[in-house]
Structure 1
Amino acid sequence: PNLLPEQVTGTRIVSQGRRESDYNLIGLTDPRGNKYYWIGPQHEGELLRHDDTDYHAIGDGAVSVTPLHVDLTHEGALKSLREAFG
């Protein structure tokens, strides 16, 4: 959390929270006349603050520790494709 060390209330091991948000593509021009795009939330969105999430821990002044794992492989499709294409 954005606090002084003495204000931190502890450390919590928690799951990743979720946020409802609208994502937009906004075309802009910088001061030099170059076009660029902002891709991101139009507003902060509503935090879905469940008790066991990083959002809740940080809101309570605690350091949140969330172990993350990303593997988007669809194992069923991987097996089927390997069988089909050798």
Structure 2
Amino acid sequence: MMARKLQIKRGLKKDMPTLAEGELGFAIDEKSVYIGTGTENIPVGQGGVIVSATNPPYNNVLWIDTASGGVAKYHDGTTWVNVAATWG
């Protein structure tokens, strides 16, 4: 089986398009990761990624929910939302 490569959009923050829901982007000039909602790009804070069975106490991170089988989630300002992803 061949390894698969996950590609993330990258470039200058000023040139970043609106990312699709669950799509990741990396602003190379400010070294920041963003996750798209389809209508806006939400920065993933300095905390980066939290791996836990319970939701984090802060919302500016990407959460790997181990209670849900390792599903990645982001906070849309109201609730935690599954990151749309295809694994193969």
Q: TM-score, normalised by structure 2?
A: 0.23
Which structure dedicates a bigger proportion of its chain to strand? Answer: 2
Which structure dedicates a bigger proportion of its chain to helix? Answer: 1
Q: TM-score, normalised by structure 1?
A: 0.23
